Structure 1
């Protein structure tokens, strides 16, 4: 209803100004350069050197290097594993196994290095393995063998040399712990029907396959895998391929089932997967060719929680088959929802693993946002079946080739499955603007790093970050648009065909995209794809493009959050980019409004007069400006002000029009920037005036949704309108809009009175739970905790777990912090995000900071140096830091824990220091001006008479 009226108003306004608009498209692949040589004169410091055990002497021996030599290459593995799902006499869960790997000798050598970590190997005649030649006896005898713990190798020295061109079998037998560490081959526990269930699952990316079996654990070393699993009767075994045979047998008096799987396609070790569980599934056959199955806990499948994922999987697979012009290369596509999983999902070939929240959807309990998350995550993982699995990066320094690409095309696949959601526009929120925030720091890094910068497991884990995912997506979207989607897709198809079942580097992709350009009539570029794109991937950062509308001059410079910061990482391109620009002009020549219609990875600044015209247009006719561009104006203005390029009061003025705004994307962009200000000022005298201003701006939105939803008893029909309704309720309650908190408290009280009936719509539960627990005390918190413990739908559990961090009662927050590291109360996969939720609370932030400092050695021991969550943990607990005292605390924390280390959080800690330093300087220069502006606004409310208002 509301959306339809908005469209009619928008169309009417567009018709009025149509004659005054001239669209000028320029692909400005070279703009005026403002060189920054003075900033780049410092000595190049690529990255911190690999962490070295101080007790071990530096060595040039091959086993002391983190990269395998190029002397051997695997052909195939034959692996048998037996996970024990019952605790043994030593109080441990274990698995036993054997592995035979067939490899070819590429260069003469008397040394075998193969990755092996935390496995107890059986000895063969005093050695850790047995070596035979493929065709006949004659392999050299093993002279010596040992486990090199730091570099995670099984080292085998031979009495003679291996012969180039010949193939050999290396046989190992081993025992490993089936721990609950979320890495390698591990166990997960959950309760169902009052019983504790144990399942065995895997997470091999990036360097954990070596914890399950000895292997050449590098992405470029592809092989086939023949996998056999021995498992308890009554359980089901899954792996990358279909079952070849299943039989019940008895081993050492134990009745078990042996499941043998068909050999896999040639693939990387990090994509190997296997699961043993008592899960069940729903299925669909795609044209009698590809078997699609959704696996989960029996109760979840019985409740229909897998139905939505099954319904979208087939159209997404079909979309990517057409997009890549390549058939899905496997016989089946299994997707499984797991109770314990460190990542959101993992693209194991043929057996994709997910957190339950990323695959399971319950219409009665899950929100609209949960539904969108499922379709985008499924699309992301299925995109990998071709880009990442069929063709794989050679080394982790090019991780963006996998993750950036999947993060871009996930929007295309999701749009195909849900074409009415307009989901493709959201890339500016979830990838473009997210990447800008990190890439504006001097501690950022290029998309493609030098190989020598990425060696250790923790350095590899650090690559799984916002740059690889979100910047990769944004840069590829920009590339696709200036090449055209047709040319881009043509180049991809040829690339995939050439490198199928192999590996590549980024220059291989540029070769095929350039070939597609050359073969397409009418498509011409002033520079080749290599010259254009290397500037975007081989140097960190991005430009701010400044347009002087008085002269038409266009210039660029490296955008940095702190404009005086020294960039120590030099660039062969001098931090200059080839920038594709498209802009719109309207009005008379003497008073033209210029607007860059930006799809590229850069920010835009204008002369003061044009900014004034843009602000005026927002206030008196915002719908003339496309929705996406409204969001970009807001985000650019605030971040240019944070970088001291633009006056902060001008940026704040861009938010005045929000009293008329009803669209999700601009509101979300505004809130992200305003939330930054909230965290910057919520401990200072600015906060009261800021809250009063936000209260005034959101009240029309709150009133609108209250009216159209019949006093919050309904949700809008439109997909993104449902998101805007959530913003209206959340911001209104957070700023004290009259009547808002009464609604949320009333709903929560009704639920407390009748726990069997929850009156709150799933879309609004996150907001209502948080607001009610924030306003309440121990009774509300304890009720929320009880409901969290009873939750059987993962999406509902996440809402409650986050809301429990909203309380304003310090002792409850401290108790919750203690719960976060108790696996009996909070799953290990959720520990660091729970602490992050608490840190997001202004009262909880110092408690969380002190808690992490006190327990840092515990976190490092439990989660390991490679944990993906360290970076987000450090970012969350330091997010409010903006004083010299807090900067000193950060530096002391860095110094005091230097010996323990920070693993994959090393770069995040450096970024926290950089961001805190920048905020201290910015506040000194701008705090008083911000306070004066908010106070002035509260004294001079806007006059709404005569202002175009689309939804009033």
Structure 2
């Protein structure tokens, strides 16, 4: 499942949980996640075999909020027991009958319910006489017949309801599902854990004008009263799905359809075109292991909590993540649609065909899905360079998230619903995908593919843990590459069973290199546990005279230090972690950093691969942030960027400058960090090379914008639109620009145009754009406008906008509410108002935003700039009952504390560098060395900062 909580926001660190030791998989938990005193796990003495479910949805027109259900569950008793325990939640049981299958005897039963665990315990009625059975017998099958009713809630979980307006303005209702991780129990009583797999036979009562779809095709029985679906393969409850709606479909093949509301179905064409190719690409990667289901339906759901969901044979999405119209969506949206589809399609094997034994192993689902969203899409959309994008979009953000003491292992013990939800995070997704990519490179791609096929074949229609994966890889490694063989399990445990990752430090002593490893932390810890943490590291390296194609392991590092021969002469550089295939950072001695800086400033800088240029930037700036490397060294490294013509290094640089921009705001150094005057020629040079190389938007769609320049120029086709902040008439015409067909403003330009206009406009401009949002039929355009509306500096408008996000369910859907908050707190004039609003309305915000409230708390904490703000934030966290967001809030406090400490430690050094004062022995910029434009380091950095937000928003891929 793709979880999305904040959209169109500047990329921030995701703050996470921790444990730093290498634990077993018992109830070993982090300091923040403790084993629950309540046992939430079902007994294993009974297992389900088959479910037959009959549903009557959307009852009570015109406000259809209820449904009824009839169900027969066939169960097998593994061990003799006095009771059978299963789940239900938020439904009402009207009748239950249990029949012993072998004798067709109805048994008299009692049942009780626990509202905390959602356990429904059915026991035999021993008061029925001496001849009454006292236990459910081992190896016997029983039929549990249940009649019940439930509610279609509007919180986007379980069997919930959604609605939209048709072309005539009439409200159209639909019923749909979201069951992961534990919400199938809200649709039907069940054994709602991933290990309790069974087959499902689903029937849905037909409704006037409504059509039903589910995981399997409809049977050819022409029943006039029910849609009867074919029986599913063995599968867990969380992957069951059914949708009852008036949706229409497009299809490219008989067995591949995309569904959406009638007014938007034409926007599904790209998804219809690319979907079958993505499925075929994954099949090819898995050595022709075919897609397991007889059909695939993709559905655009108007209200959807997750970004997308991998229901087997019926994947569901937010509208803006599957519907695409080139005239109303940014070019980046097209890439997002393809990669998200690839993510969900990968789950059809990883998670659906082979499911995790328990949520401890969520990463076996999400890590592989994250991996394939780039690497499968790259096989279809070959021009997007997604193998390289993976490093800057997934791996580097994972390194940032995992650099806090409060991180957690990839394989993390969880038990309660809150702890389960908490691990749907960067560690289980991006870090796991990055470690999987590292495994591919040390195994070789040939072994990796064979190992994946062996793993899936051996565990198909069953469950798995990480050892099943490692065993399959070991067998193929030994058989295919015996000369390279190293025990996969022992290697991978160091990456999956302990939090964090190593900093590899390489120093040169004559003809020898000394290499050490120690856990990298943004705020270093000196605890014995941190000092003793070790990883088995596949070291790769290349030299000034080498190349960046060979990513095979040169040396295994298992201890805290080792020595190897220097691979090149003393006056030539070397680089470790080729193509950043390893999940670790690298630091060098001053001499090697100096050699690298000089080389990057030369005309030969492109000899270093684009990915490794991005790695050098990201490593250096994060090492400086942690106090491991001088900021002056890291900032000197960035001065080469005035020559850079590749999107990949720029993405890393701009991500890292986001942190500097946030931290320096309000300090003495910040005025030096802002642009007072810049020529359009210079901006054109910088942005043109990024956009044209990135192949994301056309050369003609260029944005020139700074925070201090009084005029915004947007260039489109042969039209120049001049917009000056002081001219109200021109400001309004700028916003209206996209309404004029003759001078249409590309979606790639709308974000910065709208935001700049609103920043310097007032109520009239805001209302104009709000009305444009309300009337739009394009979810991608609506999402863009929601973000722009937060750019206003009018406090009354900001407060009113936040109020709309929790009260206006007609125009702002629950799934989009979090983007309103992020748009406001990302605005410097809105930060304190957003925080004040959160404190005053927390319960309403949490109820309205659902899981999105955690990201709001984290985002606000990331913008804390003073001790007074931190004290206020800490008081809020300590005194407010935050529910499921409590862990994220505590982690956010730690991050905010570290940010303020950073400012105290590094502010003066950065200010000195910006002023051009000597701060390091590394080479400073010399005339002609960095660029013919001869920019000083200070101007170079301020340039990056001034265009940071616009570029990140335009480049936003996820």
Per the normalisation by structure 1, the TM-score is 0.86
2:706 is the alignment partner of 1:733: yes
2:516 is the alignment partner of 1:555: yes
For residues 578-605 of structure 1, the C-alpha deviation after alignment (integer angstroms, 9 at most, x for no partner) is 1112212227723121122221100010
Cα separation, partners in 2 of 1:679 and 1:108, compared to 1, 3 Å: same
Other structure's SS at 2:76 match: strand
Q: 2:638 aligns to what?
A: 655
For structure 2, which runs of at least 5 residues remain unmatched after alignment?
A: 1-19, 22-26, 127-133, 546-567, 715-720, 725-729, 936-958
Q: 1:840 aligns to what?
A: 826
Alignment of 1:788-867 (within 5 A): 788-822=773-807, 823-862=809-848, 867=850
For structure 1, which runs of at least 5 residues remain unmatched after alignment?
A: 1-35, 38-42, 53-57, 59-63, 250-256, 709-714
Q: What is the Cα deviation at residue 360 of structure 1?
A: 0.8
Cα separation, partners in 2 of 1:70 and 1:433, compared to 1, 3 Å: same
Residues 357 and 465 in structure 2, CA contact (< 8 A), matched pair in contact too: yes
Q: What is the Cα deviation at residue 262 of structure 1?
A: 0.5
Distance 2:708 2:441 in 1: 40
Q: 1:317 aligns to what?
A: 279
Residues 331 and 696 in structure 2, CA contact (< 8 A), matched pair in contact too: no
Q: How many correspondences in the alignment?
A: 858
2:479 is the alignment partner of 1:504: no
Distance 1:476 1:104 in 2: 37
Q: 1:28 aligns to what?
A: none
Q: 2:573 aligns to what?
A: 593
Q: What is the Cα deviation at residue 685 of structure 1?
A: 3.1
Cα separation, partners in 2 of 1:605 and 1:262, compared to 1, 3 Å: same
2:856 is the alignment partner of 1:873: yes
Distance 1:482 1:951 in 2: 43
Residues 316 and 417 in structure 1, CA contact (< 8 A), matched pair in contact too: yes
Residues 500 and 519 in structure 2, CA contact (< 8 A), matched pair in contact too: yes
Which of 284, 292, 307 matches 1:329?
A: 292
Which of 404, 410, 414 matches 1:447?
A: 410
Which of 612, 622, 631 matches 2:594?
A: 612
Q: 1:25 aligns to what?
A: none
Distance 2:774 2:709 in 1: 31
For residues 628-658 of structure 1, the C-alpha deviation after alignment (integer angstroms, 9 at most, x for no partner) is 1111111111111111111112222222122
Which of 870, 874, 882 matches 1:891?
A: 874
Q: 2:766 aligns to what?
A: 781
589-598 vs 473-482, which moves further: 589-598
359-368 vs 757-766, which moves further: 757-766
Which of 750, 761, 781 matches 1:765?
A: 750
2:151 is the alignment partner of 1:177: yes
Alignment of 1:331-410 (within 5 A): 331-410=294-373
Distance 1:582 1:737 in 2: 49
Q: 1:148 aligns to what?
A: 114
Distance 2:177 2:688 in 1: 50
Distance 2:934 2:339 in 1: 30
Q: 1:157 aligns to what?
A: 123
Which of 556, 573, 583 matches 2:541?
A: 583
Distance 1:933 1:718 in 2: 30
Residues 119 and 175 in structure 1, CA contact (< 8 A), matched pair in contact too: yes
Cα separation, partners in 2 of 1:239 and 1:670, compared to 1, 3 Å: same
Which of 70, 74, 79 matches 1:102?
A: 74
Distance 2:48 2:31 in 1: 31
Other structure's SS at 2:499 match: coil
For residues 228-267 of structure 1, the C-alpha deviation after alignment (integer angstroms, 9 at most, x for no partner) is 1114221110000000157575xxxxxxx42110011110
Alignment of 1:434-513 (within 5 A): 434-450=397-413, 454-513=414-473
Residues 483 and 523 in structure 1, CA contact (< 8 A), matched pair in contact too: no
575-584 vs 73-82, which moves further: 575-584
754-763 vs 921-930, which moves further: 754-763
Q: 1:691 aligns to what?
A: 674
Per the normalisation by structure 2, the TM-score is 0.85
Which of 637, 644, 647 matches 2:620?
A: 637
Cα separation, partners in 2 of 1:656 and 1:735, compared to 1, 3 Å: farther
Q: What is the Cα deviation at residue 809 of structure 1?
A: 1.7
129-138 vs 624-633, which moves further: 129-138
For residues 514-562 of structure 1, the C-alpha deviation after alignment (integer angstroms, 9 at most, x for no partner) is 000010145413x300110000000000001011134411111000110
Cα separation, partners in 2 of 1:629 and 1:908, compared to 1, 3 Å: same
Distance 1:534 1:700 in 2: 52
Residues 184 and 192 in structure 2, CA contact (< 8 A), matched pair in contact too: yes
Residues 50 and 74 in structure 2, CA contact (< 8 A), matched pair in contact too: yes
Distance 2:759 2:917 in 1: 28
Distance 1:633 1:724 in 2: 28
Cα separation, partners in 2 of 1:227 and 1:747, compared to 1, 3 Å: farther
Distance 1:620 1:701 in 2: 20
Which of 262, 284, 289 matches 2:230?
A: 262
Residues 48 and 196 in structure 2, CA contact (< 8 A), matched pair in contact too: yes
470-479 vs 547-556, which moves further: 547-556
Cα separation, partners in 2 of 1:700 and 1:446, compared to 1, 3 Å: farther
Alignment of 1:742-753 (within 5 A): 743=722, 749-752=733-736
Residues 252 and 273 in structure 2, CA contact (< 8 A), matched pair in contact too: no
Distance 2:796 2:271 in 1: 41
Q: What is the Cα deviation at residue 402 of structure 1?
A: 0.2
Alpha-carbon RMSD across the aligned residues, in angstroms, is 2.9
For residues 563-586 of structure 1, the C-alpha deviation after alignment (integer angstroms, 9 at most, x for no partner) is 13658xx58x94211111221222
Cα separation, partners in 2 of 1:860 and 1:805, compared to 1, 3 Å: closer
Residues 220 and 392 in structure 1, CA contact (< 8 A), matched pair in contact too: yes
Q: What is the Cα deviation at residue 945 of structure 1?
A: 3.3
Q: 1:292 aligns to what?
A: 256
Distance 1:634 1:702 in 2: 21
For residues 667-723 of structure 1, the C-alpha deviation after alignment (integer angstroms, 9 at most, x for no partner) is 111111111111112233322211139x76x96662227889xxxxxx966553539
Distance 1:200 1:50 in 2: 36
Cα separation, partners in 2 of 1:720 and 1:735, compared to 1, 3 Å: farther
Distance 2:688 2:523 in 1: 44
Q: What is the Cα deviation at residue 108 of structure 1?
A: 0.9
Q: What is the Cα deviation at residue 781 of structure 1?
A: 1.3
2:148 is the alignment partner of 1:189: no
Distance 2:869 2:583 in 1: 33
Cα separation, partners in 2 of 1:96 and 1:565, compared to 1, 3 Å: farther
Other structure's SS at 1:156 match: strand
For residues 284-341 of structure 1, the C-alpha deviation after alignment (integer angstroms, 9 at most, x for no partner) is 22xxxx700011111212xx31111111111111111122231111110000111110
Residues 214 and 314 in structure 2, CA contact (< 8 A), matched pair in contact too: yes
Q: 2:685 aligns to what?
A: 704
2:217 is the alignment partner of 1:242: yes
Other structure's SS at 2:739 match: coil
Distance 1:605 1:488 in 2: 29
Q: What is the Cα deviation at residue 86 of structure 1?
A: 4.6
Q: What is the Cα deviation at residue 46 of structure 1?
A: 2.8
Residues 354 and 459 in structure 2, CA contact (< 8 A), matched pair in contact too: yes
Cα separation, partners in 2 of 1:74 and 1:805, compared to 1, 3 Å: same
Distance 1:724 1:154 in 2: 62
Other structure's SS at 1:244 match: coil
Alignment of 1:220-235 (within 5 A): 220-235=195-210
Other structure's SS at 2:345 match: helix
Cα separation, partners in 2 of 1:107 and 1:644, compared to 1, 3 Å: same
Other structure's SS at 1:330 match: coil
Q: What is the Cα deviation at residue 380 of structure 1?
A: 0.5
